[in-house]
Amino acid sequence: MYEKVKQFKGKALFPVNQFTIIAGPCAVEDEEQLVEMALFLKAFGVTHLRAGAYKPRTSPYTFQGLEEKGLTILQHVRARTGIKIVTEIMDASQIKMYEDNVDIIQVGARNMQNFALLKALGKIKKPILLKRGFGSTIEEWLYACEYLLNEGNDQIILCERGIKTFEPMTRNTLDISSVPIVKSITNIPVFVDPSHSSGRRDLIIPLARAIVAVGADGLMIEVHQQPQYSVSDKDETIDFQEFVSLLEQVQAIATVMGKKIG
């Protein structure tokens, strides 16, 4: 069994009374745009910016990210604003580059069971955000986490991002029950991504309310100055005004839960 997951006593990445938000565009597009985004987020107490430099896509004909140039932009944005960077890794050969330029390395749903990558990431001392695969059970997700722990990395965040079901009204189905289930098994922080799970802008805020109410430790969300012009995932991205509304509603529920937004 996943004994290290059950016995987890890793480094506390966030204060216990904090509900952490990681926000930003789906993909790195432009440095000045990301600087504006970072300053906007920091003005509301959000300290982590998400944006993909490398983008694993179902179709080889859709935008794949700016790749190494995107990482360089993220490095510049971090240096200029002081915001922390969260971005997805694709391959173990990129680890050194990510160690130097990224604060939290994201393992995406498609790589959740890339065991060679997990073993390599387990050997470094850098926080890892491990997303649940869209066709994976909770147990498989926890076993993937065990790969990281087995190699010695105890700086881990688990992130639920929805699973594939027969329901066509949403991009995926948000398995919100995974949050209390996982939290009953381990002390590893559990975040939820309502953007990728729903694929619908109109569902982001109501799902975010449910996410904090169910006991999650944080939220990962797609935000863009002008979602209609986003190079990817425009249908599941909210704008600045909607993000402020989300913060207000989430904070109200977080207060009841004894937490504050961070």
**Residue 131, Cα to own-chain centre: how many angstroms?**
7
CB-side exposure of 7: number of CA atoms within 13 Å? 6
pLDDT band of residue 1 (cuts 50, 70, 90) is confident
Average pLDDT, integer, range 52-76: 89
Q: Is 65 left (phi over 0), alpha (psi -120 to 50) or beta?
A: left
Q: Which domain holds residue 143?
A: 3-261
Share of the chain above pLDDT 90, in %: 90
Average pLDDT, integer, range 45-50: 97
138: domain CATH number is 3.20.20.70
pLDDT band of residue 63 (cuts 50, 70, 90) is confident
The pLDDT assigned to 10 comes to: 87
Number of domains, the chain: 1
Average pLDDT, integer, range 55-83: 91
Q: Are 126 and 99 in contact (CB under 8 A)?
A: yes
**DSSP assignment of 172-203:** SB--TTHHHHHHHH--S-EEE-HHHHH--GGG
SS3 45: coil
* pLDDT single digits (tens) 84-127: 999 999 999 999 999 988 999 999 999 999 999 999 999 999 99
Q: Are 105 and 129 in contact (CB under 8 A)?
A: yes
Angstrom distance (rounded) from CA 167 to CA 34: 34
Best CA proximity match to 78, nearest among 41, 44, 38: 38
Q: In terms of C-beta density within 10 A (0-12 exposed, 13-18 middle, 19 or more buried), how is residue 152 classed?
A: exposed
Q: Where are the alpha helices (DSSP H) in the chain?
A: 3-6, 31-43, 68-81, 95-101, 115-122, 138-150, 178-185, 194-198, 204-213, 240-256
Q: Are 70 and 28 in contact (CB under 8 A)?
A: yes
b/e sequence 242-262, b meaning 16+ C-beta within 10 Å = bbeebbeebbebbeeeebebb
pLDDT band of residue 12 (cuts 50, 70, 90) is confident
* pLDDT single digits (tens) 122-160: 999 999 999 999 999 999 999 999 999 999 999 999 999
- pTM (two decimals): 0.96
CB-side exposure of 92: number of CA atoms within 13 Å? 11
